[in-house]
Amino acid sequence: MYEIDLSKKNAARFRQQLAPFIDHARKAAAGPRRPVRTAASRQRSRDIRVWAKEQGIPLSDRGRIPADIYARYDAARGKAGPRRR
C-alpha cells in the first residue's frame, strides 16, 4: 500500500492518466482466500497423519486430510473434534 500527497491539479492529472486502466479493471476479492492455519491446526494434522500411519491407513504426507479420517481419528480419541466445513 502506498500513499501519495498530490496537489488538486496533479491529483486531477493522475486520475485522468489512470482512468483507462480503472475502466477495464475488476474488483479484487477482499481478504485472504484461505483461512489462516494456526499452529494448533498444523499440529492436529501432524497428529492425525501419525495416527493414520500407526493404524495402517494410507494417507499422504502432504495435502488435504479427508473428512472421514478426521472422524475416525476423533472417534478413536473419544472426541467430537472441531467442526469442519
Task: Give the predicted TM-score (pTM) of the model.
Answer: 0.54
Domain assignment present for 60: yes
Domain that holds residue 72: 39-77
Which phi and psi (to 5°) does residue 78 adopt?
Answer: 70, 30
Grade residue 71 by pLDDT with cuts at 50, 70 and 90: very high
CA atoms within 13 A on the CB side of 55: 13
The angle subtended at Cα 55 by Cα 54 and Cα 56, nearest 5°, is 95
Which residue from 78, 34, 73 is spatially nearest to 55, judged by alpha carbons? Answer: 73
57: exposed, middle or buried (C-beta count within 10 Å: 0-12, 13-18, 19+)? middle
* Inside any domain, residue 13: no
Q: pLDDT per residue over 16-66, tens digit each?
A: 999 999 999 988 877 777 778 899 999 999 999 999 999 999 999 999 999
Residue 15 lies in a domain: no
